[in-house]
Structure 1
C-alpha cells in the first residue's frame, strides 16, 4: 500500500489526488523477507529418507526462508502405470522420478519451482500433466508449462506471511516441438513450455567472413536477394563480422514482449516477483552469460521483477545487483542425481552402446565422460559445485545476500553422487573466489566470511 493511505471505518482509503499506479514496480514485502534460490534439480528419488551425508544441514537452509525456489528438471509419475511415452528422437536421458518426490520436495522446503526447461516434455504432454498434478497435490507452486502459451506464460502466485510472490518462468533452451502455442483459427493451442526464442549468429573476423562468402557463392541454388556486406547465411547459419570469433544472440521480439508483459502482470498482483530463465547459451562450457542476457535481465527488473534467476549451463556464473535487485546469471546444479532416469534407444546408439549388453548407468557415465559436441564432459568437477543463495530484504530493499557453497560428491561412487552437502573450507574458498571473479565485471563485491560469500548493500 502507498504511504498516503489512511484508515477509515476499518478500510484503507486513499486521499484525494493520491493513488498507487497499477503499473508500480516497487517491492512491497514485510521486513525480513528472505528468498532462497538454487539451480537445477535433476533428482530421481526422495532424498530426506536417505543416509544423512550432510544433506540435513542443507535442508535446514532451505526451510528457513519465505520462498525456497529451484528449477525442476524432472517429471513425476509411476512409469508402471503411465500411459504416455518419451518424446520422439530426443536422443538423451528421459528425466523421471516417482510421485513420492512431490512430498519430499515439500519436506525439503521447496514451495516455488520453475518448469520451463529442455526436459519439461521428455515424456510429452502426459508427463507434463502428471508432474503438475503431483506438485499441485503437495501445494508447490510452479510455472512455465501449460496446455497452451497463455497458461505456460502466466505468472503463478505463492502466498507467504510476508507478502504474495509471483513467478514467471521461461526457457531460452528447449527441445523441438515443446514450445507452447495459443489457438489460431480452427487450430487448437499446443501444450508446451513458455519459450524465449533466440536467433544465434556466429561472429567471425572480416577475412573469415569473406572466405565464407566465397564458399557460399560457389554453392548451387544461391541467389543474392539483399545487401549482405556485414553478414551472410551459409547452410542455415548466420555469420556476422566482428573483432573475434564468438556467438551472438538476438531474442525474438514477440517473445520478449510476452515475457515482459507477464512480469508486469505478475508484479501488479503480487508484492514480490521472480523472473526465471533456463538457458544453456552460449554453451555449458561458458562461465559467462550469452551476450543478450544482461540487457534483457535489466528490462525484466525495469518491468517489475524483484529478482532474476537463471539456470541451465550446469555451472556457476556471475552475480549482478541492478537497482537493488539480485541477478543470478546461473546457480549451477543443486541436485544431479540421475540414477533412475531411463536411457532411450537413441542415446544408447549415440554412445555406441547396446541395451542387450550395456546398462543405463554405463551409458550415463559414458555421456558424462565425453560430453556433447559443444559442451565439456559433465564429469568435470565444476559441474558438481553450486550455491544456495539467501537474499534478505529490509524496508523493501535488498539488505544482504549470502552465498553458501555446496558440492555434489564428484569423488563419490556413481550410486551416491549428485546429492548436495555444504562444501569443505578449502572447496568453499575456491568456489567463492571463482564467483568473485565472475561477478567483478558486473561491479559486484563479494566478501568471504566463515566460508560464506556475503554481498551487503
Structure 2
C-alpha cells in the first residue's frame, strides 16, 4: 500500500488505491450502489396503510435504493410522554405518534437527519423519545445527542454495497437547542449539531455612511472599536456592497468541527452524506451566500454528497468534482395534522384553546407562514411547497453515473386531512416541476434532460 508523507493541509488517508490526491477519500462502493434522497419529512401520522392513491407506487423507488434518506422534521411521542412544549420552538410544535417509527421503516427509510429547528420543540424528553423510537426500528439517525460530540458524530449503516456514514447539522435552530461539550467541571449540554451564522445586511456604500452617522449620535457609541467596513446598531450589522442583500459568515470553530466529523465519517465508511437544515433566505430560489463554499469544502473533506433542506421548495443541483450538491430538495411530506398544539402557538395566532381547535391554529399558521422561521416570507399554501422530486443517484466504478429525478406532488388542492402525502406527479405537472428544476440548476452548469416525465443528469466517467 502506498504511503504519502506530505500533508499539505489536506489530511491524506490510506485506502486500497493509496492516498487520495484531492484531499478527500475516494468513494469505495460496489457497482450499482444507489442513494435515494428526499427533503423534509413533515408528518404526524403513519400513512402506509391509509387511503393515499399513488403513494404505494412512489415508495417502491425508496425500497429499490441502498440508502433512503430524508430530514426527520418531527418528534415521535407517545401518550406517556412526560415532557412539555417548549417556550422556544421551531415555528410550530412538530409532533407525531409512535406508529410513525415502523411506518418510516415500511416506507424504506433507513437514514434520517435530526438537526433542524424542530429538534427540541418538545424539549430533551422529546428529542430522546424520538431517538429511542428510531433506534427500535433500525433507522440510523445523526445530528442530535447528549452533547456536541455525540450530536456531531457520524453515524453508520451497513449495506450490501458498502458502509455509509451520515453527518447532520443545522444552521437554523432555537438558541437553547444547541448542544455543547463539557468544559472543566461544567457538564455538556444535550441538543443538536449547530453551525452558527453571523448575519449582516449589505447596503450601498453611501447608505452605510448614513447609518454610521446615525450610530454615532446614539448613546454608548464605542469610538475605539469603530470598524470602517461595517456598522453595528444594536444587534444588526450592516456592510457595504455593490448589491443589497444578506451576508452570512459561518462560525470558523463550528465549520472546523463539522469538517473533522465528515473527514472521520469517510475514514470509517465507503460513502459519506453531509446534510444541512437551514431557513436562510427562504424567500429566494438562490441558496444563501455561505452555502456553496461550505458544500464544496464538505465534499473536499470526504463527503460524497451534500443534501440541503429547510426552504420547503426546490433549489438547484450542482455537480462538484463528480459529486452532487442538492441545495434544497423541498418537502417529501407536508402533512399538517399536528396535535396537540402548545399554548404558545394558540397565543401567536390569537386563538383560544377552549374555543378553537388544533387544526384551526395549523390552518392559520400555514396560511400566514411560520412567524418565527428566519427569513420566511409569504404563505405556505403556494403550490411550490407541494412540489418536489425524489433524487436517486446511481454509481458505477466508484463514480456518479446517473442521477434520476422523479417529480412528486403532495396534494396541494386536497382538504387538510388528506393533504401533504406525496405521489408521482402526472405528465403536465411533472414537466413543470422538472423545467423549474432545470432553470434553478442552470447557474451551476448542471444540465437536466427530461425523458418520459423523469429528469436525468448523466455524467461522463472521470479519469483516475
**TM-score normalised by the chain length of structure 2:** 0.92
Does the CA-based 8 Å contact 1:69-1:110 persist in structure 2? yes
Q: 1:219 to 1:88 in 2, by over 3 A?
A: same
Unaligned 5+ segments in structure 1 are 5-17
Work out the CA distance in 2 between the residues paired with 1:81 and 1:113: 25
Q: CA deviation at 1:19?
A: 7.2
Does the CA-based 8 Å contact 2:90-2:121 persist in structure 1? no
Work out the CA distance in 2 between the residues paired with 1:130 and 1:91: 18
Work out the CA distance in 1 between the residues paired with 2:168 and 2:313: 20
Does the CA-based 8 Å contact 2:197-2:249 persist in structure 1? yes
Q: Identify the residue that residue 70 of structure 1 maps to in structure 2.
A: 70
Does the CA-based 8 Å contact 1:28-1:396 persist in structure 2? yes
Q: 1:19 to 1:110 in 2, by over 3 A?
A: closer
Whether 1:103 and 2:102 are equivalent positions in the alignment is: yes
SS at match of 2:338: coil
Does the CA-based 8 Å contact 1:315-1:382 persist in structure 2? yes
Which moves more between the two structures, 216-225 or 312-321?
Answer: 216-225
Work out the CA distance in 2 between the residues paired with 1:91 and 1:151: 22
Q: Which of 384, 387, 391 is 1:385 aligned to?
A: 387
Unaligned 5+ segments in structure 2 are 4-15, 460-464
Work out the CA distance in 2 between the residues paired with 1:166 and 1:372: 32
Please tell me the root mean square deviation across aligned C-alpha atoms, in Å: 1.6
Q: 1:341 to 1:386 in 2, by over 3 A?
A: farther
Q: Identify the residue that residue 293 of structure 1 maps to in structure 2.
A: 291
Q: CA deviation at 1:24?
A: 5.5
Q: Identify the residue that residue 14 of structure 1 maps to in structure 2.
A: none
Taking the TM superposition and a 5 Å limit, the aligned residue runs for 1:402-421 are 402-421=404-423
Q: CA deviation at 1:90?
A: 2.9
Does the CA-based 8 Å contact 2:89-2:118 persist in structure 1? no
Q: CA deviation at 1:366?
A: 1.0
Work out the CA distance in 2 between the residues paired with 1:342 and 1:437: 40
Q: Identify the residue that residue 118 of structure 1 maps to in structure 2.
A: 117
Work out the CA distance in 1 between the residues paired with 2:183 and 2:432: 52
SS at match of 1:263: helix
Work out the CA distance in 2 between the residues paired with 1:364 and 1:3: 59
Work out the CA distance in 1 between the residues paired with 2:35 and 2:2: 25
Count how many residue pairs are aligned between Structure 1 and Structure 2.
441
Q: Identify the residue that residue 163 of structure 2 maps to in structure 1.
A: 164
Work out the CA distance in 2 between the residues paired with 1:337 and 1:67: 23
SS at match of 1:416: coil
Does the CA-based 8 Å contact 1:75-1:97 persist in structure 2? yes
Taking the TM superposition and a 5 Å limit, the aligned residue runs for 1:170-319 are 170-282=169-281, 284-319=282-317
Does the CA-based 8 Å contact 1:166-1:272 persist in structure 2? yes
Q: 1:325 to 1:89 in 2, by over 3 A?
A: closer
SS at match of 2:56: helix
Work out the CA distance in 2 between the residues paired with 1:222 and 1:388: 53
Work out the CA distance in 1 between the residues paired with 2:142 and 2:256: 18
Which moves more between the two structures, 354-363 or 150-159?
Answer: 354-363
Q: CA deviation digits over 1:48-94, x for unaligned, max 9?
A: 0101311111111111100000000111121x211111122437421
